[in-house]
Chains A and B, each alone.
Chain A
Amino acid sequence: MLLYSIKRLFAGIVTVWFIATATFIAMHQVPGDPLMNDKAVVPEIRKNLQQKYGLDKSTTEQYFIFMGNMLKGDFGISFTQQNRQVNDIIRDHFPVSAALGLLAIFFAALGGILFGALTALYRNRLPDIIIMFLVILGISVPSFVFAALGQLLIVNLNSFMGQSIIPVAGWGSFSHMIMPALVLGLGSMALLTRLMRSSMLEVINEEYIKTAKAKGLSPLRIFYRHQLRNAILPVITVLGPQIAAITTGGFVVELVFAIPGLGRYFVQAVQQLDYTVIMGTTVFYGAFLVLMVILVDIVYGFIDPRVRIN
């Protein structure tokens, strides 16, 4: 188990290096540089700036400088935000995205497993039909629509109660998080529901369920002792990428709810070709994704004994 984890970790480091290199190359292929501006810059000033930021050096040289700094954990200073370290940006804004993302994935996993199991139990009956209809909605409607609808719902609730119970937007307390997390997790919840449903239906036809019945176990016991654990395995597998997708892909929802998450800076940086911020956030997100996948693999080992041994 330890050896397995170390192996996975090593593979993860290689992956992160690969992500960093690929991003670096792609970024430098885009025409223009961070010093391009709406306002015309005098060639001398431009030259001085290039020298200051090391942009006059060859791309290869820049690559090695960047990699060297990255190993020290230093991503440099933002080009567009005055005097702001990339590390500071990540440190200030990632916890916001992470908190939101984790709550969202909690909603998604809980809802997905619960509704998936429910639809399987009531297969082809009314609860199944209703939930599966909602699932299609959840998968196909984009998150900003849900975000707007969610805000509308909060406004109506607040005006109905005559006082502000849940804030419509902003950041600061747990009540700020509930609606954006729900909206953010909705797509994943729908996906996980479908997965859980098909997985449950597969398990219900397994021979060992028949054995459990023949042993005289109650349907409830068969459900939670035999069916659930086996059905949950494929759901756990996709949970890793889903966690990463939610925490990194939340910028639309963050924007609508005016949440100071990292996603906004990531998108802004790409638009402005802010080299250091692009590299910093991409490598950070990449490392985060890899870590989540490894974490899920290890959790998987705890649930499925067959993975643990090999």
Chain B
Amino acid sequence: MQPAILQVKNLHVEFATYGGIVQAVRGVNFDIHQGETLAIVGESGCGKSVSVQAIMGLIPIPPGNITQGAALLNGKNILGLPSREANKFRGVEIAMIFQDPMTSLNPTMTIGNQISETLMVHRGLTHKQALKKAIQLLDQTHIPEAAKRARQYPFEFSGGMLQRAMIAQSLACNPTILIADEPTTALDVTIQAQILALMKELQRTENMSIILITHDLAVVAKMADRVAVMYAGKIVETGKVNDIFYRSSHPYTLGLKNAMPSNQQQKKKQLTPIEGSPPDLFSPPPGCGYFSRCPYSMRICESKPPPDNIVNTTSNQQASCWLQHADAPRIDALNQTSQSDAD
């Protein structure tokens, strides 16, 4: 296996607020390889957006603060760089698209100018050359009449078309990684499918890696190669997409799955919500963040944070849960390491 192009290690992000310090991200590790799609899933406020924004240097400091960690892009740490340094990779090596395309583009600038701006700054093209390339990019994202559309302003576009334009903009400098922060949340379902298909197509032609942030498990199933499940500022489980869906090894992943509606008629079962609410990140619990909501919680879970256990060595599935310990009780619904494996 070739080395990861981006490795995030032990990332900690805090925010100073009037109420105290919020520990939004509390030790996140993940890595991503050439051409793969990593989905980061989790509920609102679990720190998934903050993690990637910290990598991109988009966290305003203060009130934000990156207290620990590293993000190695091809072996070089890019975390917490000053903007002059960060701008060598932002928009060039790593590009990003956002949740709401309606507000993510400058309303007083034409689409064409916004795309060509990136090319002029990073590639030193003239305005004319950059605009020509911008039209090509719009064409590549299947925007009809690209030349005419390039001269229009964001308010003349529909939501789906704007997200295409955002994608075109992010592709300008052929980035190796595209970070998509809930790219389809603000769009309706048919448009959602089109945007996801477009991302997949471009990933193939450009050989890009995609970090996809979402809370929609259906999107994960459609797009991801690997999945990282986040809860209360930590990644609780990572693994191949099939492992996560069919061999869940963390109770939270299981809870998410049980709360997801399925369209298989014969399985007329009720959806089971996860009871309770996430822990207060002003004073996070000393043990496992999921302890108070976990149906299988044990005494150790309250006081000691669980280690990252490798559940499956070949597919590199990991779960940070005490239930993966050799002495833990067996739970049928959960994929656990066998007793002999753990020793």
Contacts and interface: CB of A to CB of B under 8 A. Distances in A.
Q: Do A and B bind each other?
A: yes
A185 B86 CA distance: 42
A47 interface: no
A217 B58 CA distance: 12
B242 interface: no
Contact of A211 (B87, B98, B108): B98
Contacts of A309: 156
B278 to A, nearest CB: 25
B82 to A, nearest CB: 10
A215 B171 CA distance: 10
Interface on chain A toward B: helix, strand, loop, or mixed SS? helix
B118 A215 contact: yes
A282 interface: no
Contacts of A217: 87, 91, 117-118, 121
B91 A216 contact: yes
Contact of A225 (B83, B98, B117, B166): B117
A306 interface: yes
Contacts of B320: none
A303 interface: yes
Interface stretch (A155-163, A202-210, A285-293): A202-210
A229 B108 contact: yes
Interface in B92-149: 92, 95-96, 98, 100, 103-109, 117-118, 121-122
B84 to A, nearest CB: 7
Contacts of A219: 83
Given A207-B104, A215-B90, A304-B108, 7 more contacts: A211-B98, A211-B104, A211-B166, A214-B56, A214-B96, A216-B87, A306-B107
Contacts of A213: 56-58, 83, 90
Contact of A206 (B86, B103, B117, B153): B103
Kindly name the residue among B89, B109, B122, B156 whose own CB sees the greatest number of chain A CB atoms within 10 A. Answer: B109
Interface in A210-231: 210-219, 221, 225-226, 229-230
Contacts of A212: 106
Interface of A: 206-208, 210-219, 221, 225-226, 229-230, 303-306, 309
10 contacts: A207-B103, A208-B105, A208-B106, A211-B98, A213-B57, A214-B56, A217-B91, A217-B121, A221-B121, A225-B117
B153 to A, nearest CB: 4
Interface string B63-86: 000000000000000000001101
A229 B113 CA distance: 14
Interface residues of B, number: 32
B117 A214 contact: no
A226 B86 CA distance: 19
A219 B57 CA distance: 13
Contacts of B105: 208, 211
Nearest to A217: B121
A121 to B, nearest CB: 13
Contacts of B56: 213-214
B23 interface: no
B169 interface: yes
Nearest to B99: A207
A309 B107 CA distance: 13
Residue among A214, A225, A226, A305 having the largest count of chain B Cβ atoms under 10 Å: A214
Interface of B: 56-58, 83-84, 86-92, 95-96, 98, 100, 103-109, 117-118, 121-122, 153, 155-156, 166, 169
A306 B169 contact: no
Nearest to A204: B60
B103 A208 contact: yes
Given A208-B103, A208-B106, A226-B106, A216 B92 contact: yes
A210 B108 contact: no
A230 B84 contact: no
Contacts of A210: 58, 98, 104
A305 B122 contact: no
B17 to A, nearest CB: 16
Contacts of A206: 103
A78 B167 CA distance: 69
Contacts of B91: 214-217
Nearest to B172: A215
A226 B96 CA distance: 18
A217 B169 CA distance: 13
A123 to B, nearest CB: 11
Closest 9 pairs (CB-CB, A-B): A216-B91, A216-B90, A215-B91, A207-B103, A216-B87, A214-B96, A305-B153, A208-B106, A207-B104
A226 B109 contact: yes
A214 B108 CA distance: 18
Contacts of B117: 215, 217, 225
A230 B108 CA distance: 7
Contact of A214 (B84, B90, B156): B90
Nearest to A308: B153
Contact of A208 (B88, B107, B153): B107
Contacts of B96: 211, 214
B165 to A, nearest CB: 11
A57 to B, nearest CB: 56
* Of A217, A221, A303, A309, most B-chain CB atoms within 10 Å: A217
A303 B108 CA distance: 7
A250 B83 CA distance: 47
Contacts of B121: 215-218, 221
A217 B105 CA distance: 14
Contacts of B166: 211
